[in-house]
């Protein structure tokens, strides 16, 4: 972790990728004028204990220094306990997660650092990645928060996909002959 000007850059290693929007901007509210790129990173409490410790120290420092000790509340901090989303695949008691976003498309690279594109079909939700994020404190007319800016993502390995997977269409529909009219 490196800290400068009330910002902390943290490298997350071998974490699971969730809700990625790495290639296209996504609007989070209908009133958003512009979308952003984003991802959620799931950290295992045992194997990612070092990163979780760094994240907690960075949050504590930002609350103490940038927010002058005024804690904004757990719901306004980008680092949270996985039990909050226990009903979502990949989350639960044994993990922490951090939401990060940015206005500019983040660099996404392969294991050998070659650039990846959306056509490479990786990384996807459930894959393991390395990522760098920048924690920063918000204290303005919109309130106090601790946010994370998404900097870069490196694909590590394919993981079990989140979600239900594809539908078996043979169980959904019957074949139609050429003369069938719907």
SS3 31: coil
Q: Domains in the chain, start-ordered, CATH in brackets?
A: 2-163 (2.40.50.140)
Angle, CA of 75, 79 and 82, to the nearest 5°:
85
pLDDT the model gives residue 117: 95
* Burial (Cβ within 10 Å: 0-12, 13-18, ≥19) of residue 101: buried
The whole-angstrom separation of Cα 85 and Cα 19 is 13
The whole-angstrom separation of Cα 16 and Cα 66 is 29
pLDDT the model gives residue 27: 78
- Comparing 24-38, 84-98, 113-127, 168-182, the range with the smallest average pLDDT is 168-182
HSE of 118, CA atoms in CB hemisphere, 13 A: 7
The whole-angstrom separation of Cα 44 and Cα 139 is 30
The whole-angstrom separation of Cα 119 and Cα 97 is 27
Q: Which residue bears the tokens 């918000």?
A: 138
Span 85-105, average pLDDT: 94
Model confidence, pTM: 0.84
pLDDT at 182 > cutoff 70: no
């Amino acid at each position: 972790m490196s800290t400068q000007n009330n910002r902390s850059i943290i490298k997350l290693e071998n974490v699971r990728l969730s809700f990625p929007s790495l290639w296209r901007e996504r609007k989070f509210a209908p009133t958003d004028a512009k979308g952003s790129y984003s991802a959620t990173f799931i950290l295992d409490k045992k194997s990612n204990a070092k990163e979780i410790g760094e994240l907690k120290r960075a949050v504590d420092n930002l609350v103490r220094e940038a927010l002058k000790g005024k804690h904004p509340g757990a719901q306004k901090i980008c680092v949270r306990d996985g039990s909050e989303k226990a009903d979502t695949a990949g989350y639960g008691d044994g993990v922490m997660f951090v939401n990060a976003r940015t206005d500019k498309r983040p660099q996404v690279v392969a294991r050998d650092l070659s650039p990846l594109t959306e056509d490479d079909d990786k990384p996807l939700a459930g894959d393991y990645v390395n990522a760098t994020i920048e924690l920063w404190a918000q204290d303005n007319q919109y309130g106090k928060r601790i946010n994370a800016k998404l900097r870069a993502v490196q694909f590590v390995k394919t993981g079990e996909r989140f979600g239900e997977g594809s539908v078996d269409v043979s169980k959904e529909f019957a074949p139609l002959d050429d003369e069938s009219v719907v």
